[in-house]
Structure 1
Amino acid sequence: MDKDFTFEEIVKQNEKRIYYHIHKLQIRDPHNEFYVEGLYAMWLAYKNYQPDKGPLATYFNFTIRNRLIDLIRSKTREQKINEAYVQKETIEQLDGNRLTISSVPLRPSEGIEVADTEIWDEIKEILSTNQWKWVNYFIIQGLSQKEIAEKEGVSVDAVKSWSREAKKKLLASDLLTSSEGFSTK
């Protein structure tokens, strides 16, 4: 390599290579992040170039393209992690009977009433102790699954398990299909 050229001169002569690869890889670069990565790749290529391995232009192209592809992969991986985190947080916020954002129950506390308390006794007989706790806390008192877990000193997964089993038993019973005991305002 001819050491008569400074890196600044090399950049002026080869800057279009960066733009070419950004365009060829169909990258939108509003913040010049990929351009800077291309410059860094060019600097690394300039610094590590060995003339006996081939032309400098080919080495620039190879290095710039691969650095840009690596950055795309990194950004994609980061975006997937962020999306998974947002999805997890959304699920946690909507967990249970409340919207955590505003702490307002999803269902109104008025509207569904049990005219006959014998239905609750029948439901209690069908369910296990923990399943009844879920019905009592979640449906009657309007607590979230997280609040139930804290109150009972168990994990949220345990409360979810109570919920699944209680729903299965209630759906299998005839109590929910006959709406004699339930009335709406």
Structure 2
Amino acid sequence: MESYDQLVVQYQPMIHKIIKSLHIYKNEDEFYQTGLIGLWEAAQAFDEKKGNFSNYAYTFMKGKMLLQMNQNNHYKEKHIYQQQEFFDAMDGIEPLPFLEKETIQSYCEGLTEKEAKWVIAMSLDQLSIKEIAEREKVSISAVKQWRSGAIRKLRETIATYN
């Protein structure tokens, strides 16, 4: 077996190819390091009697990166404060008056019906993305898209007032 430094030079393009194939565009350096760790672990665990090292290393590194992606997503689901995102979008506006439904709805002008549903459910009902998805019988991803669109549009509206 080659030295680890030689493996890094040889398998560096493979690590970058895996990152690209998984559509990783945030934290590429972190995933590159995860790929290097996967390569090292693959080299330690590889049994030459069982086949080709490059196939084994590819599978091992990709699995390690997928596990890292899953852990990152799980962390974000549990630790991002949805309400804070809403108020960050409202940054620059004077403190909101009593948040009754009509007042919140006035901020929703220019939003789609679904984006407005997210704003109201998050601010008035204090529901998480998962709870909104369950109530509306849609995927968590769909609710995240509503949130993203609402925040973008609210920021644009705020920018026009400043």
Normalised to the residue count of structure 2, the TM-score between the two structures is 0.49
Normalised to the residue count of structure 1, the TM-score between the two structures is 0.45
Please identify the structure whose Cα radius of gyration is greater: 1
- Which structure: greater helix fraction? 2
- Which structure: greater strand fraction? 1
